[in-house]
Protein backbone atom coordinates (compact mmCIF):
# COMPACT_ATOMS: atom_id res chain seq x y z
CA UNK A 1 0.00 0.00 0.00
CA UNK A 2 2.76 2.40 1.09
CA UNK A 3 4.69 1.52 -2.07
CA UNK A 4 1.83 2.57 -4.34
CA UNK A 5 1.49 5.85 -2.50
CA UNK A 6 5.17 6.77 -2.95
CA UNK A 7 4.94 6.20 -6.70
CA UNK A 8 1.82 8.29 -7.04
CA UNK A 9 2.71 11.50 -8.91
CA UNK A 10 -0.77 12.97 -8.92
CA UNK A 11 -1.60 16.24 -7.19
CA UNK A 12 -2.68 16.03 -3.57
CA UNK A 13 -2.86 19.72 -2.58
CA UNK A 14 -2.21 23.15 -4.04
CA UNK A 15 -1.42 26.11 -1.82
CA UNK A 16 -1.18 29.71 -3.06
CA UNK A 17 -0.12 32.83 -1.20
CA UNK A 18 0.69 36.50 -1.66
CA UNK A 19 4.39 37.32 -1.33
CA UNK A 20 6.55 40.31 -2.36
CA UNK A 21 8.64 40.77 -5.48
CA UNK A 22 11.99 42.57 -5.76
CA UNK A 23 10.27 45.97 -5.96
CA UNK A 24 8.34 45.25 -2.77
CA UNK A 25 5.13 44.76 -4.74
CA UNK A 26 2.85 41.81 -4.09
CA UNK A 27 3.06 38.78 -6.33
CA UNK A 28 1.85 35.20 -6.13
CA UNK A 29 3.57 31.94 -5.31
CA UNK A 30 2.12 28.44 -5.42
CA UNK A 31 3.06 25.15 -3.84
CA UNK A 32 2.02 21.92 -5.47
CA UNK A 33 2.15 18.79 -3.29
CA UNK A 34 2.03 15.35 -4.87
CA UNK A 35 0.83 12.17 -3.20
CA UNK A 36 4.37 10.81 -3.26
CA UNK A 37 5.53 13.69 -1.07
CA UNK A 38 7.22 15.81 -3.77
CA UNK A 39 6.61 19.54 -3.46
CA UNK A 40 7.11 22.20 -6.15
CA UNK A 41 7.26 25.88 -5.20
CA UNK A 42 7.07 28.57 -7.89
CA UNK A 43 6.97 32.36 -7.81
CA UNK A 44 5.75 34.71 -10.53
CA UNK A 45 7.58 37.90 -11.58
CA UNK A 46 6.05 41.13 -12.85
CA UNK A 47 7.00 43.68 -15.51
CA UNK A 48 7.10 47.49 -15.47
CA UNK A 49 7.33 48.15 -19.20
CA UNK A 50 4.62 45.70 -20.16
CA UNK A 51 3.57 44.94 -23.70
CA UNK A 52 -0.06 45.83 -24.44
CA UNK A 53 -0.70 42.30 -25.67
CA UNK A 54 0.62 40.40 -22.67
CA UNK A 55 -1.65 37.93 -20.87
CA UNK A 56 -3.65 39.49 -18.05
CA UNK A 57 -2.06 39.94 -14.64
CA UNK A 58 -4.76 39.74 -11.96
CA UNK A 59 -4.52 42.50 -9.33
CA UNK A 60 -7.05 43.22 -6.58
CA UNK A 61 -7.81 46.88 -7.22
CA UNK A 62 -8.62 47.21 -3.51
CA UNK A 63 -6.99 50.57 -2.71
CA UNK A 64 -6.88 49.85 1.01
CA UNK A 65 -4.17 47.22 0.44
CA UNK A 66 -0.92 47.86 -1.43
CA UNK A 67 -2.53 50.70 -3.45
CA UNK A 68 -4.73 48.20 -5.23
CA UNK A 69 -1.80 46.01 -6.31
CA UNK A 70 -2.49 43.03 -4.05
CA UNK A 71 -2.94 39.57 -5.57
CA UNK A 72 -5.45 38.00 -3.19
CA UNK A 73 -7.94 37.58 -6.04
CA UNK A 74 -5.37 35.56 -7.96
CA UNK A 75 -4.70 33.49 -4.81
CA UNK A 76 -8.43 32.90 -4.43
CA UNK A 77 -8.71 31.86 -8.07
CA UNK A 78 -6.04 29.23 -7.51
CA UNK A 79 -7.93 27.96 -4.49
CA UNK A 80 -11.48 28.10 -5.80
CA UNK A 81 -11.21 27.68 -9.58
CA UNK A 82 -7.99 25.83 -10.43
CA UNK A 83 -7.35 23.53 -7.49
CA UNK A 84 -10.70 21.66 -7.49
CA UNK A 85 -10.12 20.57 -11.11
CA UNK A 86 -6.46 19.65 -10.66
CA UNK A 87 -6.53 17.46 -7.56
CA UNK A 88 -5.76 13.88 -8.52
CA UNK A 89 -4.32 14.81 -11.94
CA UNK A 90 -0.88 13.39 -12.68
CA UNK A 91 1.71 16.18 -12.37
CA UNK A 92 3.81 14.56 -15.09
CA UNK A 93 1.14 15.48 -17.63
CA UNK A 94 2.17 19.13 -17.82
CA UNK A 95 0.41 19.91 -21.10
CA UNK A 96 -2.85 18.38 -19.86
CA UNK A 97 -2.69 20.40 -16.67
CA UNK A 98 -1.92 23.64 -18.51
CA UNK A 99 -4.80 22.98 -20.89
CA UNK A 100 -7.22 22.35 -18.04
CA UNK A 101 -6.27 25.74 -16.59
CA UNK A 102 -6.44 27.56 -19.94
CA UNK A 103 -9.92 26.12 -20.52
CA UNK A 104 -11.09 26.94 -17.01
CA UNK A 105 -10.10 30.54 -17.70
CA UNK A 106 -11.64 30.47 -21.16
CA UNK A 107 -10.82 34.09 -22.05
CA UNK A 108 -7.97 33.87 -24.56
CA UNK A 109 -5.75 36.21 -22.51
CA UNK A 110 -6.26 34.64 -19.07
CA UNK A 111 -8.26 37.61 -17.83
CA UNK A 112 -10.76 35.53 -15.87
CA UNK A 113 -8.38 33.60 -13.65
CA UNK A 114 -5.20 35.68 -14.18
CA UNK A 115 -1.99 34.70 -15.97
CA UNK A 116 -0.14 35.13 -12.66
CA UNK A 117 -2.42 32.58 -10.96
CA UNK A 118 -2.13 30.07 -13.81
CA UNK A 119 1.63 30.43 -14.22
CA UNK A 120 2.27 29.97 -10.49
CA UNK A 121 0.51 26.60 -10.62
CA UNK A 122 1.95 25.62 -14.01
CA UNK A 123 5.55 26.13 -12.84
CA UNK A 124 4.98 24.61 -9.42
CA UNK A 125 3.53 21.50 -11.11
CA UNK A 126 6.67 21.18 -13.25
CA UNK A 127 8.94 21.57 -10.24
CA UNK A 128 7.00 18.95 -8.30
CA UNK A 129 7.16 16.65 -11.34
CA UNK A 130 10.93 17.08 -11.61
CA UNK A 131 11.33 16.28 -7.91
CA UNK A 132 9.11 13.23 -8.25
CA UNK A 133 11.35 11.76 -10.93
CA UNK A 134 14.46 12.94 -9.19
CA UNK A 135 15.98 15.07 -11.97
CA UNK A 136 16.97 18.75 -11.96
CA UNK A 137 14.50 21.09 -13.64
CA UNK A 138 16.68 21.68 -16.73
CA UNK A 139 16.74 17.94 -17.38
CA UNK A 140 13.03 17.59 -16.67
CA UNK A 141 12.32 20.23 -19.36
CA UNK A 142 15.18 19.45 -21.68
CA UNK A 143 16.11 15.78 -21.32
CA UNK A 144 19.41 14.12 -20.52
CA UNK A 145 21.31 15.92 -23.26
CA UNK A 146 20.54 19.49 -22.20
CA UNK A 147 24.00 20.98 -21.74
CA UNK A 148 24.12 24.41 -23.45
CA UNK A 149 24.88 27.23 -21.00
CA UNK A 150 23.46 30.54 -22.21
CA UNK A 151 25.37 33.72 -23.02
CA UNK A 152 24.20 36.29 -20.47
CA UNK A 153 23.06 39.74 -21.66
CA UNK A 154 23.81 41.78 -18.54
CA UNK A 155 21.93 45.01 -18.06
CA UNK A 156 24.49 47.26 -16.37
CA UNK A 157 22.94 50.66 -17.13
CA UNK A 158 19.21 50.96 -16.45
CA UNK A 159 17.04 53.64 -18.02
CA UNK A 160 13.50 53.96 -19.32
CA UNK A 161 10.77 52.58 -17.08
CA UNK A 162 13.32 50.92 -14.79
CA UNK A 163 14.95 54.10 -13.51
CA UNK A 164 13.42 57.52 -12.99
CA UNK A 165 14.79 60.62 -14.72
CA UNK A 166 17.62 59.37 -16.86
CA UNK A 167 17.91 57.82 -20.32
CA UNK A 168 14.96 56.88 -22.52
CA UNK A 169 16.49 53.61 -23.72
CA UNK A 170 15.68 51.01 -21.10
CA UNK A 171 18.67 48.66 -21.05
CA UNK A 172 22.36 48.93 -21.91
CA UNK A 173 23.80 45.45 -21.75
CA UNK A 174 27.23 43.83 -21.89
CA UNK A 175 27.51 40.45 -23.63
CA UNK A 176 30.60 38.34 -22.82
CA UNK A 177 30.42 36.35 -26.03
CA UNK A 178 34.13 35.57 -26.19
CA UNK A 179 34.37 33.68 -22.90
CA UNK A 180 35.03 29.97 -22.89
CA UNK A 181 32.59 29.02 -20.13
CA UNK A 182 29.59 30.52 -18.36
CA UNK A 183 31.69 30.85 -15.23
CA UNK A 184 34.24 32.90 -17.10
CA UNK A 185 31.55 35.00 -18.80
CA UNK A 186 30.07 35.86 -15.42
CA UNK A 187 33.44 36.86 -14.01
CA UNK A 188 34.12 39.11 -17.00
CA UNK A 189 30.73 40.74 -16.47
CA UNK A 190 31.44 41.38 -12.81
CA UNK A 191 34.86 42.86 -13.61
CA UNK A 192 33.33 45.25 -16.12
CA UNK A 193 30.59 46.15 -13.64
CA UNK A 194 33.17 47.03 -10.97
CA UNK A 195 35.12 49.12 -13.48
CA UNK A 196 31.96 50.87 -14.58
CA UNK A 197 31.29 51.87 -10.96
CA UNK A 198 34.79 53.31 -10.78
CA UNK A 199 34.43 55.24 -14.05
CA UNK A 200 31.10 56.69 -12.88
CA UNK A 201 32.62 57.68 -9.53
CA UNK A 202 35.51 59.43 -11.19
CA UNK A 203 33.09 61.46 -13.30
CA UNK A 204 31.00 62.36 -10.27
CA UNK A 205 28.07 60.35 -11.63
CA UNK A 206 25.57 58.46 -9.51
CA UNK A 207 26.22 54.78 -8.77
CA UNK A 208 22.78 53.97 -7.37
CA UNK A 209 21.06 51.09 -9.13
CA UNK A 210 17.71 50.62 -10.88
CA UNK A 211 15.14 47.83 -10.84
CA UNK A 212 17.43 45.34 -12.56
CA UNK A 213 20.56 46.24 -10.63
CA UNK A 214 22.22 48.34 -13.35
CA UNK A 215 23.54 51.82 -12.57
CA UNK A 216 21.25 54.78 -13.17
CA UNK A 217 23.51 57.75 -13.83
CA UNK A 218 21.98 60.93 -15.20
CA UNK A 219 23.38 60.98 -18.70
CA UNK A 220 22.73 63.36 -21.56
CA UNK A 221 22.66 60.79 -24.33
CA UNK A 222 22.67 57.11 -25.25
CA UNK A 223 26.08 57.61 -26.81
CA UNK A 224 27.53 58.68 -23.47
CA UNK A 225 26.13 55.50 -21.88
CA UNK A 226 27.67 53.36 -24.62
CA UNK A 227 31.01 55.19 -24.33
CA UNK A 228 31.03 54.48 -20.59
CA UNK A 229 30.52 50.79 -21.29
CA UNK A 230 33.38 50.73 -23.78
CA UNK A 231 35.67 52.44 -21.26
CA UNK A 232 34.67 49.98 -18.52
CA UNK A 233 35.25 46.97 -20.79
CA UNK A 234 38.69 48.24 -21.80
CA UNK A 235 39.69 49.08 -18.23
CA UNK A 236 38.74 45.57 -17.19
CA UNK A 237 41.24 44.35 -19.77
CA UNK A 238 38.86 43.13 -22.47
CA UNK A 239 38.40 44.08 -26.09
CA UNK A 240 34.98 45.53 -26.95
CA UNK A 241 33.35 43.47 -29.67
CA UNK A 242 35.85 40.62 -29.47
CA UNK A 243 35.54 39.58 -25.85
CA UNK A 244 32.53 41.57 -24.78
CA UNK A 245 29.91 43.00 -27.11
CA UNK A 246 27.00 45.34 -26.39
CA UNK A 247 23.22 44.93 -26.59
CA UNK A 248 20.27 47.30 -26.18
CA UNK A 249 16.70 47.04 -25.08
CA UNK A 250 15.31 50.23 -26.56
CA UNK A 251 11.78 49.47 -25.28
CA UNK A 252 10.57 51.94 -27.90
CA UNK A 253 6.85 51.46 -27.14
CA UNK A 254 7.49 53.52 -23.99
CA UNK A 255 8.40 56.70 -25.91
CA UNK A 256 6.31 56.38 -29.06
CA UNK A 257 3.61 58.98 -29.53
CA UNK A 258 1.42 59.70 -32.55
CA UNK A 259 3.71 57.96 -35.01
CA UNK A 260 6.88 59.61 -33.66
CA UNK A 261 9.72 58.43 -31.46
CA UNK A 262 10.38 61.03 -28.77
CA UNK A 263 13.76 60.24 -27.33
CA UNK A 264 16.16 62.50 -25.45
CA UNK A 265 15.90 65.99 -26.90
CA UNK A 266 14.76 64.69 -30.28
CA UNK A 267 11.53 63.79 -31.99
CA UNK A 268 12.22 61.24 -34.72
CA UNK A 269 10.05 60.04 -37.57
CA UNK A 270 10.17 56.23 -37.79
CA UNK A 271 12.60 56.49 -40.76
CA UNK A 272 14.90 58.84 -38.87
CA UNK A 273 14.72 56.66 -35.76
CA UNK A 274 15.72 53.60 -37.79
CA UNK A 275 18.66 55.60 -39.19
CA UNK A 276 19.61 56.53 -35.63
CA UNK A 277 19.57 52.89 -34.51
CA UNK A 278 21.68 51.89 -37.50
CA UNK A 279 24.12 54.69 -36.73
CA UNK A 280 24.52 53.41 -33.17
CA UNK A 281 24.95 49.85 -34.42
CA UNK A 282 27.71 50.99 -36.80
CA UNK A 283 29.45 53.12 -34.23
CA UNK A 284 29.51 50.58 -31.39
CA UNK A 285 29.92 46.78 -31.17
CA UNK A 286 26.17 46.26 -30.69
CA UNK A 287 25.06 42.76 -31.60
CA UNK A 288 21.45 42.74 -30.42
CA UNK A 289 18.67 45.34 -30.35
CA UNK A 290 15.41 44.56 -28.57
CA UNK A 291 12.17 46.43 -29.23
CA UNK A 292 13.88 48.99 -31.44
CA UNK A 293 10.43 50.11 -32.56
CA UNK A 294 6.87 50.29 -31.18
CA UNK A 295 4.92 47.05 -30.61
CA UNK A 296 2.42 47.81 -33.40
CA UNK A 297 4.76 49.53 -35.86
CA UNK A 298 4.92 46.42 -38.07
CA UNK A 299 5.77 48.26 -41.30
CA UNK A 300 8.79 49.99 -39.83
CA UNK A 301 9.85 46.79 -38.08
CA UNK A 302 9.90 45.30 -41.59
CA UNK A 303 12.18 48.10 -42.84
CA UNK A 304 14.46 47.77 -39.84
CA UNK A 305 14.69 43.99 -40.31
CA UNK A 306 15.34 44.30 -44.04
CA UNK A 307 18.09 46.84 -43.40
CA UNK A 308 20.06 45.24 -40.57
CA UNK A 309 18.40 41.91 -39.74
CA UNK A 310 21.03 39.94 -41.62
CA UNK A 311 23.87 41.33 -39.54
CA UNK A 312 22.42 41.63 -36.08
CA UNK A 313 19.90 40.18 -33.72
CA UNK A 314 16.57 42.06 -33.62
CA UNK A 315 14.52 40.88 -30.67
CA UNK A 316 10.77 41.25 -30.28
CA UNK A 317 9.63 41.60 -26.68
CA UNK A 318 6.56 43.87 -26.43
CA UNK A 319 6.17 43.04 -30.11
CA UNK A 320 5.71 39.26 -29.71
CA UNK A 321 4.90 38.96 -25.97
CA UNK A 322 5.88 35.24 -26.02
CA UNK A 323 2.64 34.68 -27.95
CA UNK A 324 2.77 32.19 -30.83
CA UNK A 325 0.08 34.07 -32.78
CA UNK A 326 2.05 37.30 -32.73
CA UNK A 327 5.27 35.43 -33.48
CA UNK A 328 3.58 33.77 -36.48
CA UNK A 329 2.62 37.19 -37.79
CA UNK A 330 6.22 38.35 -37.34
CA UNK A 331 7.62 35.31 -39.16
CA UNK A 332 5.21 35.79 -42.02
CA UNK A 333 5.94 39.52 -42.30
CA UNK A 334 9.70 39.03 -41.90
CA UNK A 335 9.80 41.13 -38.78
CA UNK A 336 12.69 40.62 -36.34
CA UNK A 337 14.81 37.48 -36.09
CA UNK A 338 14.61 36.66 -32.38
CA UNK A 339 12.03 36.55 -29.62
CA UNK A 340 12.25 37.47 -25.97
CA UNK A 341 10.74 34.73 -23.83
CA UNK A 342 8.98 35.66 -20.60
CA UNK A 343 6.81 32.99 -19.00
CA UNK A 344 4.36 35.44 -17.47
CA UNK A 345 3.68 37.23 -20.76
CA UNK A 346 1.78 34.16 -21.91
CA UNK A 347 1.06 32.52 -18.54
CA UNK A 348 1.84 28.81 -18.84
CA UNK A 349 4.84 26.60 -19.32
CA UNK A 350 3.32 24.63 -22.19
CA UNK A 351 2.52 27.70 -24.26
CA UNK A 352 5.99 29.11 -23.56
CA UNK A 353 7.66 25.95 -24.84
CA UNK A 354 5.40 25.91 -27.90
CA UNK A 355 6.41 29.48 -28.73
CA UNK A 356 10.11 28.62 -28.36
CA UNK A 357 9.64 25.63 -30.69
CA UNK A 358 7.86 27.80 -33.25
CA UNK A 359 10.76 30.27 -33.12
CA UNK A 360 13.35 27.52 -33.53
CA UNK A 361 11.57 25.88 -36.48
CA UNK A 362 11.55 29.24 -38.24
CA UNK A 363 15.16 30.20 -37.64
CA UNK A 364 14.37 32.70 -34.89
CA UNK A 365 16.52 32.72 -31.78
CA UNK A 366 15.00 32.74 -28.30
CA UNK A 367 16.30 34.90 -25.49
CA UNK A 368 14.99 33.70 -22.12
CA UNK A 369 14.26 36.66 -19.85
CA UNK A 370 13.53 37.75 -16.31
CA UNK A 371 11.15 40.63 -15.50
CA UNK A 372 12.07 43.92 -13.87
CA UNK A 373 10.04 42.86 -10.81
CA UNK A 374 11.62 39.50 -9.95
CA UNK A 375 11.58 36.90 -7.19
CA UNK A 376 14.11 34.40 -5.90
CA UNK A 377 12.69 31.79 -8.30
CA UNK A 378 15.44 30.56 -10.63
CA UNK A 379 13.41 28.49 -13.11
CA UNK A 380 14.43 30.70 -16.05
CA UNK A 381 18.03 29.57 -15.65
CA UNK A 382 16.93 25.94 -16.06
CA UNK A 383 14.63 26.90 -18.91
CA UNK A 384 17.49 28.54 -20.80
CA UNK A 385 19.64 25.41 -20.54
CA UNK A 386 16.76 23.05 -21.26
CA UNK A 387 15.62 24.82 -24.42
CA UNK A 388 19.17 25.34 -25.74
CA UNK A 389 18.22 28.96 -26.34
CA UNK A 390 21.84 29.99 -25.93
CA UNK A 391 20.95 33.35 -24.36
CA UNK A 392 19.57 34.69 -21.10
CA UNK A 393 18.69 38.16 -19.87
CA UNK A 394 18.82 38.17 -16.07
CA UNK A 395 19.92 41.69 -15.17
CA UNK A 396 22.98 43.20 -13.63
CA UNK A 397 25.65 41.88 -11.30
CA UNK A 398 24.11 43.02 -8.07
CA UNK A 399 20.68 42.52 -6.43
CA UNK A 400 20.05 39.06 -5.04
CA UNK A 401 17.08 38.19 -7.25
CA UNK A 402 19.25 38.65 -10.39
CA UNK A 403 22.34 36.94 -8.93
CA UNK A 404 20.14 33.96 -7.94
CA UNK A 405 19.70 33.16 -11.65
CA UNK A 406 23.42 33.46 -12.37
CA UNK A 407 24.28 31.33 -9.35
CA UNK A 408 21.82 28.70 -10.52
CA UNK A 409 23.59 28.64 -13.91
CA UNK A 410 26.94 28.25 -12.13
CA UNK A 411 25.51 25.25 -10.29
CA UNK A 412 24.16 23.71 -13.49
CA UNK A 413 27.50 24.21 -15.24
CA UNK A 414 29.31 22.65 -12.33
CA UNK A 415 26.94 19.71 -12.25
CA UNK A 416 27.36 19.11 -15.99
CA UNK A 417 31.13 19.19 -15.64
CA UNK A 418 32.93 18.51 -18.90
CA UNK A 419 29.64 18.07 -20.73
CA UNK A 420 28.76 21.75 -20.28
CA UNK A 421 29.09 23.87 -23.40
CA UNK A 422 29.06 27.66 -23.25
CA UNK A 423 26.85 28.95 -26.05
CA UNK A 424 29.33 31.69 -26.97
CA UNK A 425 31.88 29.06 -28.05
CA UNK A 426 29.54 27.47 -30.59
CA UNK A 427 28.04 30.59 -32.15
CA UNK A 428 24.80 30.23 -30.24
CA UNK A 429 24.65 33.62 -28.52
CA UNK A 430 23.13 36.62 -30.23
CA UNK A 431 24.12 36.56 -33.92
Ligand X SMILES: O=C(O)[C@@H](CO)OP(=O)(O)O
Residue positions forming the annotated binding site: 162, 170-171, 249, 290, 317, 342, 369-372, 393
- From the candidates 110, 127, 342, 405, give the one annotated as an active-site residue: 342
| Nearest distance, CB of residue 13 and ligand X, angstroms | 31
342 has catalytic annotation? yes
Residue of 168, 317, 351, 377 that binds Mg ion (CB under 5 A): 317
Residue of 9, 305, 324, 369 that binds ligand X (CB under 6 A): 369
**Residues comprising the chain, all counted:** 431
234 has catalytic annotation? no
Task: Tell me: does residue 50 bind ligand X (CB under 6 A).
Answer: yes
Contact letters (x/-) for ligand X, 137-176, by CB under 6 A?
Answer: ------------------------x--------xx-----
Q: Taking Cα atoms as reference points, which of 113, 180, 110, 244 lies closest to residue 420?
A: 180
Task: Tell me: does residue 47 bind ligand X (CB under 6 A).
Answer: yes
Contact letters (x/-) for ligand X, 326-365, by CB under 6 A?
Answer: --------------x-------------------------
Task: Tell me: does residue 249 bind Mg ion (CB under 5 A).
Answer: yes
Spatial separation of the C-alpha atoms in residues 352 and 354, rounded to whole Å: 5
Spatial separation of the C-alpha atoms in residues 126 and 46, rounded to whole Å: 20
Q: Taking CB positions, which residue lies at the least distance from ligand X?
A: 47
- From the candidates 29, 212, 254, 374, give the one annotated as an active-site residue: 212
DSSP H helical segments within 203-297, as ranges?
222-235, 270-283
Contact letters (x/-) for ligand X, 208-227, by CB under 6 A?
Answer: ----x---------------
Looking at residue 89, the DSSP 8-state letter turns out to be: S
Task: Give the binding range for ligand X (CB under 6 A) out of 31-39, 234-242, 368-376, 384-392.
Answer: 368-376
| Nearest distance, CB of residue 374 and ligand X, angstroms | 8
Contacts of 96-103 with C-beta under 8 Å, sequence gap 24+, read 97/121, 97/122, 97/125, 98/122, 98/348, 98/349, 98/350, 98/351, 99/350, 101/348, 102/348, 102/351
- Torsion angles phi and psi, residue 58, rounded to 5: -80, 120
Q: Are the C-beta atoms of 66 and 25 separated by less than 8 Å? A: yes
Residue of 42, 251, 277, 343 that binds ligand X (CB under 6 A): 251
Q: Are the C-beta atoms of 116 and 44 separated by less than 8 Å? A: yes
Cα 132 to Cα 12, 35, 36, 140, 203: the distances in Å are 13, 10, 7, 10, 54
Q: Taking Cα atoms as reference points, which of 144, 420, 428, 431 lies closest to residue 305?
A: 431
Positions marked catalytic: 212, 342
Q: Which residues bind Mg ion (CB under 5 A)?
A: 249, 317
Q: Which residues bind ligand X (CB under 6 A)?
A: 47-50, 161, 170-171, 212, 249, 251, 317, 340, 369, 371-372, 393
Amino acid sequence: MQMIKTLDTSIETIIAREILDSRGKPTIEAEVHLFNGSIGLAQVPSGASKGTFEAYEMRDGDQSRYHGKGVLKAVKNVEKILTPKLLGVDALNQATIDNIMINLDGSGNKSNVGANAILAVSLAVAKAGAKAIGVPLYRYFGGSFANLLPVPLMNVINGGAHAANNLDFQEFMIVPLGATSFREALRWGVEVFFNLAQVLNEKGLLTGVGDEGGFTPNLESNEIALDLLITAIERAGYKPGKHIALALDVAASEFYKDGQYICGYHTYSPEKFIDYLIKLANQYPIISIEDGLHEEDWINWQYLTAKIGSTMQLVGDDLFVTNSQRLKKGIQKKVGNAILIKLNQIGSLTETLETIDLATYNGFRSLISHRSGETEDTAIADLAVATRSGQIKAGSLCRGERIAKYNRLLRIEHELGERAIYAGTVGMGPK
